Amino acid sequence: MEENGNGTSRGGKKRRVQWVKYTSEESQLLREKLSSWDDLKFMEDFWNIVYDQRDFEQCRRLSDVWRLTAQGEQQPSIMRKFDISQTLVSRTLSGERWRPNLVQMYLNHAKLGRPLEGRKWILECTPKPTNPYPRALQVPDRISSYEDILEFLKQFPPVSEKSEALRSFGLTSAWAEEHKAELFFWLLGFLVGDAGKYYAEYAPGIRHYRKTQFTTIMSLTDSNFRVLRYAQLALESLGIQSHQVNSNRPIIRWNSISSNIITWIMQVCAGLLEGQRTSVNKLNMPWMKDCPVYLIVAFLQGLADSDGNVQIQGYYADIASVPNSKFYSELLDQLGTTPHAYPNEQPTQVRILLKHAVRLPLFNPVIRSYRYEQLIKHAIRRNLIPPPPSFFLAR
């Protein structure tokens, strides 16, 4: 397979490699664990890691093989005792070309140590030969305050000045760093809204898998492209790369890499249980109501840029929602916008008057989507805001 300059194949996947032998330090750590492989308490320090009986049996076999070897038993005898090949005995001892998942997780834990109180480690990916010690972050397993999220965001470096998303909006890395919280809350709203998510359970044949992929299809318009560029920037602020996928249809297909962080956002920040969907299940985000206004607005903008609309006559703007109209109404009410859910019996949208939508604003002004442009156009027509100089020049 053809490779590019950074050691990855053209498709963006890292080239296939094999496990190397355990280092002397790794071997020493595993020897110390030999007598206690039944104790997997260290796994409690990781967020949402999957393992099963097969993983447990692999660890027990490693422990038994290492112990018998230390006692002087020869490989042929070990092969007969466990009914395994000499190759597997050799690999179990050396770690070369094969390492049990829980063994490598233990080595990761030994390197990372215990997380802070109330936090867990979240790994960028399952340890594999391409990345035996993946990037690890500390995350709360429940959100009690927006400050939990602000602390989480401190772990990410600034977005590179080379970012294509930054350049497309004429922004700088310093701007993205200053507005990192708003980017996150906008992304949270966009994910809750109409953004596509490829969940872990869609790949049932893959073990140890909890990563979710941002994967969205939108109609081919300049406005939608700007929305997705902004989503790209928000994802980049979390170290998650995304890109446009070629399509022969008149659509924009946009995918991110799979990430445990996206799973954490949906399950912990949005409060959805595994398998639940934003289209049919209610959010569990009581902490959102105690957020500062600017973060609530950023969240609502993410929703509106995904599922919002400006009424054609310009009297109101709305956010579509079947299961969460009450929650959105409560947030908008906190902002003094006197929202109304329609229809009364089974609401499918939450409306606010145009003057309130302009004041927030309900749509993100950096993106300047067609919805935002419609909002401004109606606001100028109804004398809710003064027209900018460019308005007169355009006429």
Bridge partners of residue 309, in order along the sequence: 318
Collapsed DSSP state (helix, strand, coil) of residue 274: coil
* 294, 357 contact by CB (below 8 A): no
Return the domain boundaries, the chain: 24-141, 164-381
Tens of each residue's pLDDT in the chain, 395 residues: 333 334 443 344 556 799 999 999 999 999 999 888 888 899 999 998 888 888 989 988 899 999 999 899 998 999 998 899 999 999 999 999 999 999 999 999 999 999 999 999 999 888 999 999 999 999 999 999 999 999 999 999 999 999 999 999 999 999 999 999 999 999 999 999 866 665 666 555 556 667 788 888 899 999 999 999 999 999 999 999 999 999 888 899 999 988 899 999 999 999 998 878 888 889 999 999 999 999 999 999 999 999 999 999 999 999 998 889 999 999 999 999 999 998 888 888 999 999 999 999 999 999 999 999 999 999 999 999 988 765 444 43
Using CA atoms, how far residue 297 sits from 100, 135, 189, 284, in Å, is 46, 31, 10, 18
Our CA angle for 384, 386, 388, nearest 5°, is 140
Longest dimension (CA), the chain: 91
Structure tokens at 294: 């600017």
Extended beta strands in the chain, E state = 119-123, 136-140, 197-198, 212-219, 242-245, 251-259, 308-310, 316-320, 340-342, 349-353
Count how many residues are written for the chain: 395
Tell me which DSSP letter residue 46 carries.
B
* 367, 226 contact by CB (below 8 A): yes
* 323, 284 contact by CB (below 8 A): no
Tell me which DSSP letter residue 77 carries.
H
Nearest Cα residue to 186 out of 361, 355, 347: 361
Our CA angle for 198, 163, 306, nearest 5°, is 40
Nearest Cα residue to 376 out of 389, 359, 393, 392: 359
CATH of domain 164-381: 3.10.28.10
